[in-house]
Amino acid sequence: MTTSSIPPARPFHYPRPKAPLHCGKVSLQALARRYGTPLYVYSADQILERLQLFQQAFAGREHLVCYAVKANSALAILKLLADHGAGFDIVSGGELQRVLAVAPQAAERVVFSGVGKTIPEIDLALNAGILQFNVESEGELELLAERARKLKRKARFALRVNPDVFAETHPYISTGLREHKFGIDIRKALGIYRSVAGNRWLQPHGISVHIGSQIRSSEPFGSAVARVHKLVRQLEREGIPLKVVDAGGGLGIDYHAGHFDAAAKVAEYAEAISAALQGYNGRLLLEPGRFLVAQAGALVGRVLHTKRNGSKTFVIADAAMNDLIRPALYQAHHEIVPVSPRPGKKHVVDVVGPVCESGDFFARDRELPPLRAGDLIALLDAGAYGMAQSSNYNTRLRPAEVLVQGGKARLIRRRETIADLLAPEQITAQ
């Protein structure tokens, strides 16, 4: 990737020669000056553009795009998506409370996934009147029935089945095989639906599948949904019609410098899903997360120092693994570009943070343009699993977040203070 030509899949660009990097019409240099660094910057325009790609691709059938909140749970982003018709895929009671805080009316567009739902979380969701629970074990289904009876609220549920479909992705984010902790063996699902067909407090509402994340090919999605559709037809023959097929999420992006056609990817994905569901007239749920927000975001940091140790050159930034853990956790690749490029020859460097861990790095042996102390850098494609997985390790304050829409930028989360971090702690017995 050249600093003058960032692929259009990203909203970050240099508007003219010698101009600093912009998000839309807003200069990242100006944002860093105003809000400090490290700083997360997101494009609202691209988030909505990606949402609309899904909505348009599936316009020919009843569907609901349920954004996977775990990717980025910023309240302003949830409100933006809710206002444009999105539903939400949640995996905790806390995520449900975030949705309810910004859009209480969106509760009926929420699906609750996850392998370990607690009683308080189930009760919260039942009382809120969510669309459905994606149930991942027989024990969970028994607990759901018990809580529904206790609260006298019928629970709509979908079994999350495990179709044993292999998807080429990182092993930490693959979820569709029998040895994974997620889902119920698809061969057992028919018997489970039969066993609760007469339960007063449980309503078999749908069926769910999710095979993993950051999957670049549409073929595994089509294969998984085809297996689910076969089971749906069998259930219909036995008098257990399902109103919903939840195809999950997991459609991947390109974190590297190559050309990435988001519209073509969504079209290919929609074709695979639609072919697998031919003849099914119920509602389709989709759970994209990363695809909507990852390329819309960047983490902006400032170079503190550069140094040489033997043959290695290190660029030390004020951003660190506590701000963006993906490179340390998944060995993930993020493109790194200078906000204001300097002329000169590129050098092979390691880009690292100040945290006291050897794993605190963003890039190793990366060829980058010249960088000096005080320069700003942008780590691209950081809108998903960036701030959402951040921490206060080394008692570091988490970044501020800014949302850019059109030519305007607004602060959607202030930078933490040391008072925020210390407030929950106690020194003496109470």
Residue numbers annotated as active site? 356
Cβ-based neighbours of 383, under 8 Å, separated by 6 or more? 40, 42, 47, 71, 72, 293, 294, 295, 296, 297, 298
d(CA 34, CA 11): 20
* Residue-level length of the chain: 430
Phi/psi at 337 (5° precision): -130, 150
Query: What is the distance of C-alpha 300 from the center of its chain?
Result: 19
395: left (phi over 0), alpha (psi -120 to 50) or beta: left
Which burial class, exposed, middle or buried, applies to 354 when counting CB atoms under 10 A from its CB (0-12, 13-18, 19+)? middle
The owner of tokens 């349920």 is: 66
Q: Both tokens of residue 9?
A: 């899949």
Taking Cα atoms as reference points, which of 230, 103, 96 lies closest to residue 165? 230
